[in-house]
């Protein structure tokens, strides 16, 4: 593997184009928001907000079919913090009547209750309602009962809150229907004046841990889901601040909150209300902060992937990342222009870029977090096609808009580096992102064209839609300049990957079991799973049997094993002994499969890449 000079991390930027971080910039404290516009500010002080009039909301609950409504007249009033027993009984009676009786006594009881709460949170409260004291939302977890009695098994935060309100939370919860299933919620209004709305959410089994079948930590996944659902309920109520039960794993809780609330609404005039999640209680604040940073890293990737291709062009992408890294004194960012790419003889990358009017960019990031600046770095490479029309091998128009996220590889690896910098991880990381558009034009690649990659290999471009591997071929050659500990590339490379695994896991093709183990173990913790795929010679033969060049950019048996032939193609440009190719096409977007991510571009597997880098930073160099 070639080494460049003494210090493999030293900048080699073209004059005038290097945008190294200014000297003297300080590394910001952990917890600095990473995302752009969607960044959440977890410790932002909440502005006062008033709770809805409870009787009115009880009426609303009456209209919500299938939901139990609770009307505790005993709820604290400013002058009388705790209820009298008769009022408790009145509320209990009303609650028992409500699910089945929608008129008469129950309705009157509901309306007459001086303070009431409702389980309906579908509609945000109408503006102009008179509300209680300034307050926050509160999300509390509850485990599935292990006993037959169905009694709520609160987390320690839930228990403490229940004691604070003299056991009313438990009483109400037992009244409002069957025990809470995983991810299901009940909302109680007016229980405590600091928390006008409390969402209780089901966490599933208390002892859930690593699930060997599922290859993830189920307990963490349950927390992420529950907290995300709870926080969204608070958002629906337009409450700007929510305190979150750490549920025994504050990192997972923070991830659930920050990922669950994220939505791309940059370009809409009417935006969803911003909700700032905070940790409920003071224990585990470091873990909470870590979770916020991990989630904001993924949100940054989601933001870049979701944004329209006319907003995130190659140069805009690079500038956005550069701006995110500006505050770190130990990061250098080089935005390499087309002239630099030409001098690097990246003929495969350039052949794709030339079809578009948008100039290509090669983004190069050096994060020096290691104790020794010339410690061998981890090198990340990401496919950065900011729009993939297919080129002359044009894609069908239906769904083509999703190809604005074809820079997901670049987005996830760059976001992982931003996150690593925010976490101050003690290792060196280099990020490489070839960025361009794949467009049809008079200058575009034509099927059958032959181009030459940086390592001299010739490539027959049999399908211009198999462009990602052309960019990556050159970027992977370049990655070998850094004496890397490991080279890991991520790319939305093949539709075939989506066919194989869907959105369950990223496909990993690697020549290193050491690397695989680290990636796999990282993914169990993050819940953003990986699955090992083959790099057999079988597939190599299918790309090297090529009429005009050393290698074809598609397998000779067309669609068969499409993700595997793409990986075999990339392998032709790798000599490093620790390389992994992550095909992230299947996990690019989310419909509803990951419950703590809204519909849209998923930013996966950013957290797994971060966790992987964190593990590598703890691993002795001799391990490889
Ligand atoms: N960017 C696509 C792959 C893709 C498809 C990503 C769906 C995300 C969702 C890639 O450039 C591509 O078009 N690949 C072709 C390769 C084929 C022509 C050999 C594909 O998968 O169809
Ligand atoms: Zn393509
Ligand atoms: Zn593509």
3-state helix, strand, coil in the chain (%, to 5): 35, 20, 45
The response to whether residue 231 sits with its C-beta less than 6 Å from ligand 1 reads no
* 483 CA distance to ligand 3 middle (Å): 28
Distance CA 404, CA 387 (A): 5
* Ligand 1 atom at minimal distance to the Cα of residue 559: 19
The response to whether residue 437 sits with its C-beta less than 6 Å from ligand 1 reads no
Give the per-residue pLDDT at 134.
60
* 192 CA distance to ligand 3 middle (Å): 53
* 453 CA distance to ligand 3 middle (Å): 18
Give the per-residue pLDDT at 366.
98
Residue pLDDT, tens place only, 396-447: 999 999 999 999 999 999 999 999 999 999 999 999 999 999 999 999 999 9
Give the per-residue pLDDT at 146.
75
Average pLDDT per consecutive 10 residues, the chain (624 residues; last block may be shorter): 31 35 34 36 40 30 28 34 39 36 31 30 35 76 82 93 97 92 96 97 95 97 98 97 98 98 96 94 95 98 98 98 98 98 98 98 97 92 99 98 98 99 98 99 98 98 98 99 98 98 98 98 98 98 97 92 98 98 98 98 98 93 48
Q: Which listed residue (115, 224, 469, 604) is catalytic?
A: 469
Is 324 one of the catalytic residues? Answer: no
Tell me the β-bridge partners of 385: 436
Closest CA to 168 of 198, 139, 134, 147: 198
Give the per-residue pLDDT at 492.
99
Could you give phi then psi for residue 481, rounded to 5 degrees? -75, -10
CA contacts within 13 A on the Cβ side of 587 = 29
- Report the nearest-CA residue for atom 22 of ligand 1: 495
Pocket probe for ligand 1: among 495, 557, 563, the residue whose CB has the most ligand atoms within 8 Å is 495
* 383 CA distance to ligand 2 middle (Å): 11
Distance CA 624, CA 621 (A): 6
Distance CA 183, CA 116 (A): 24
Distance CA 48, CA 193 (A): 12
Q: DSSP letter at 489?
A: E
Give Cβ neighbours of residue 533 (< 8 Å, ≥ 6 apart).
500, 507, 508, 509, 563, 564, 567, 583
The response to whether residue 503 sits with its C-beta less than 6 Å from ligand 1 reads no
Tell me the β-bridge partners of 460: 450, 552
* Ligand 1 atom at minimal distance to the Cα of residue 388: 1
Distance CA 320, CA 304 (A): 9
* 403 CA distance to ligand 3 middle (Å): 7
The response to whether residue 219 sits with its C-beta less than 6 Å from ligand 1 reads no
Rounded to 10 degrees, what is the CA torsion of 585, 589, 595, 598? 160
Write out the H or E segment, with its range, that includes residue 143.
strand 137-143
Q: Are strands 449-452 and 216-217 parallel, antiparallel or unpaired?
A: unpaired
Is 272 one of the catalytic residues? Answer: no
The response to whether residue 583 sits with its C-beta less than 6 Å from ligand 1 reads no
Write out the H or E segment, with its range, that includes residue 220.
helix 218-236
Residue pLDDT, tens place only, 220-239: 999 999 999 999 999 999 99
- Report the nearest-CA residue for atom 3 of ligand 1: 494
Q: What angle (nearest 5°) sits at the alpha carbon of residue 300, between those of residues 298 and 301? A: 65
Write out the H or E segment, with its range, that includes residue 507.
strand 506-510
The response to whether residue 492 sits with its C-beta less than 6 Å from ligand 1 reads yes
Give Cβ neighbours of residue 79 (< 8 Å, ≥ 6 apart).
none
* Ligand 1 atom at minimal distance to the Cα of residue 438: 11
Residues 368-404 as b/e (b if ≥16 CB within 10 A, e otherwise) read bbbeeebbbbbbbbbbbbbbbbbbbbebeeeeeeebb
Cis-peptide, bond into residue 412, ω within 30° of zero: no
The response to whether residue 588 sits with its C-beta less than 6 Å from ligand 1 reads yes
């Amino acid at each position: 593997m070639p080494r460049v000079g003494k210090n493999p991390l030293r900048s080699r930027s073209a004059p005038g184009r290097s945008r190294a971080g200014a000297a003297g910039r300080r590394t910001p404290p952990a917890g600095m928001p990473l995302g752009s516009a969607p960044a959440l500010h977890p410790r932002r002080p909440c502005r006062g907000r008033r709770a809805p009039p409870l009787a009115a909301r009880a009426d609303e609950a009456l209209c919500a079919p299938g939901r139990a409504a609770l009307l505790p007249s005993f709820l604290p009033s400013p002058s009388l913090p705790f209820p009298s027993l008769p009022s408790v009984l009145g509320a209990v009676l009303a609650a028992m009547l409500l699910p089945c009786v929608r008129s008469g006594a129950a309705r009157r009881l509901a309306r007459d209750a001086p303070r009431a709460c409702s389980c309906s949170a579908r509609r945000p409260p109408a503006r102009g309602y008179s509300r209680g004291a300034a307050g926050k939302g509160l999300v509390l977890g509850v485990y599935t009962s292990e006993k037959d009695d169905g009694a709520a098994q609160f987390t320690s935060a839930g228990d403490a809150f229940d004691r604070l309100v003299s056991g009313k939370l438990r009483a109400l919860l037992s009244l409002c229907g069957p025990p809470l299933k995983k991810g299901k919620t009940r909302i109680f209004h007016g229980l405590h004046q600091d928390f006008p709305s409390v969402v209780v959410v089901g966490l599933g089994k208390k002892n859930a841990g690593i699930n060997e079948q599922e290859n993830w930590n189920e307990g963490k996944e349950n927390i992420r889901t529950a907290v995300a659902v709870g926080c969204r309920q608070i958002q629906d109520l337009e409450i700007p601040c929510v305190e979150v039960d750490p549920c025994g794993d504050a990192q997972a809780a923070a991830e659930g909150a920050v990922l669950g609330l994220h939505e791309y609404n940059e370009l809409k005039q009417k935006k969803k209300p911003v909700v700032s999640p905070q940790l409920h209680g003071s224990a585990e604040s470091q873990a909470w902060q870590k979770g916020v940073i991990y989630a904001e890293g993924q949100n940054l990737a989601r933001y870049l992937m979701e944004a329209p291709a006319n907003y995130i062009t190659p140069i805009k992408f690079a500038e956005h990342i550069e701006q995110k890294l500006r505050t770190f004194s130990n990061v250098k960012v080089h935005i390499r222009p087309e002239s630099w790419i030409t001098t690097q003889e990246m003929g495969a990358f350039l052949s794709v870029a030339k079809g578009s009017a948008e100039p290509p960019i090669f983004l190069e990031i050096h994060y020096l977090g290691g104790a020794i600046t010339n410690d061998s770095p981890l090198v990340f490479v990401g496919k950065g096609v900011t729009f993939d029309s297919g080129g002359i091998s044009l894609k069908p128009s239906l769904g083509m808009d999703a190809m604005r996220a074809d820079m997901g590889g670049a987005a996830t690896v760059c976001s992982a580096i931003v996150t690593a910098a925010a976490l101050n991880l003690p290792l060196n990381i280099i990020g490489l992102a070839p960025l361009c558009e794949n467009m049809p034009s008079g200058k575009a690649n034509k099927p059958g064209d032959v181009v030459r990659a940086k390592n001299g290999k010739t490539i027959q471009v049999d399908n211009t839609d198999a462009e990602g591997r052309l960019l990556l071929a050159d970027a992977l050659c370049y990655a070998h300049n850094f004496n890397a500990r490991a080279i890991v590339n991520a790319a939305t490379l093949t539709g075939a990957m989506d066919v194989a695994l869907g959105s369950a896991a990223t496909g990993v093709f690697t020549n290193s079991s050491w690397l695989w183990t680290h990636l796999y173990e990282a993914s169990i913790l993050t819940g953003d799973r990986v699955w090992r795929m083959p790099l057999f010679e079988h597939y190599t033969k299918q790309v090297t049997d090529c009429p005009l060049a050393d290698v074809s950019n598609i397998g000779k048996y067309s669609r068969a094993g499409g993700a595997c032939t793409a990986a075999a193609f990339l392998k032709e440009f790798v000599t490093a002994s620790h390389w992994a190719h992550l095909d992230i096409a299947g996990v690019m977007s989310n419909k509803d499969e990951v419950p703590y991510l809204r519909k849209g571009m998923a930013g996966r597997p950013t957290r797994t890449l971060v966790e992987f880098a964190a593990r590598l930073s703890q691993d002795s160099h001799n391990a490889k």
